[in-house]
Amino acid sequence: MTKKIIEVVGAAIIKNNKVLVMQRGEQMTLPGMWEFPGGKIEANETEEQALIREIKEELNVDIEIRDYINEASYDYDFGTVILKVYTAEIVAGQISMEEHSDGKWVTADELMTIDWAPVDIPAAEALTKYL
């Protein structure tokens, strides 16, 4: 049986040499785990368009995408997630959590102390060198 492929994008939103990480809510798969905000790429959307839309929906802010960080995939029981992460900067709005249970700004040293969703780990590792 072929696993479902889920293509998603994530934003490593950076401010003052810290990156924003979000905790998945109880209603989400992998509740309580941490991730970079973002979501599924819809049909006829570029990765950048999807990321800008998803961040607006999840955090109610406008972002400007900066650098491509990495691509990683992970086989979950519900399908294979392929995640592409980009750095971004907030250009308008105040963060409000629409879907997540918590969020925090972390330094490069704190990145690998977090209980990450598995597909987010390679981006977190890459960001320890980026920040």
What's the pLDDT at 77?
A: 93
Instruction: Provide the number of structural domains found in the chain.
Output: 1
What's the pLDDT at 90?
A: 98
**Domain span at 108:** 5-130
DSSP E strand stretches across the chain: 5-15, 18-23, 34-35, 38-40, 62-76, 79-92, 102-106
- The whole-angstrom separation of Cα 116 and Cα 72 is 13
What are the φ/ψ torsions at residue 94 (nearest 5 degrees)?
-115, 135
CATH number, domain at 36?
Answer: 3.90.79.10
pTM, 2 dp: 0.96
Question: Please, what is the average pLDDT of the chain?
Answer: 97
pLDDT tens digit string along 53-95? 999 999 999 999 999 999 999 999 999 999 999 999 999 999 9
Q: Average pLDDT for residues 20-45, to the nearest whole number?
A: 96
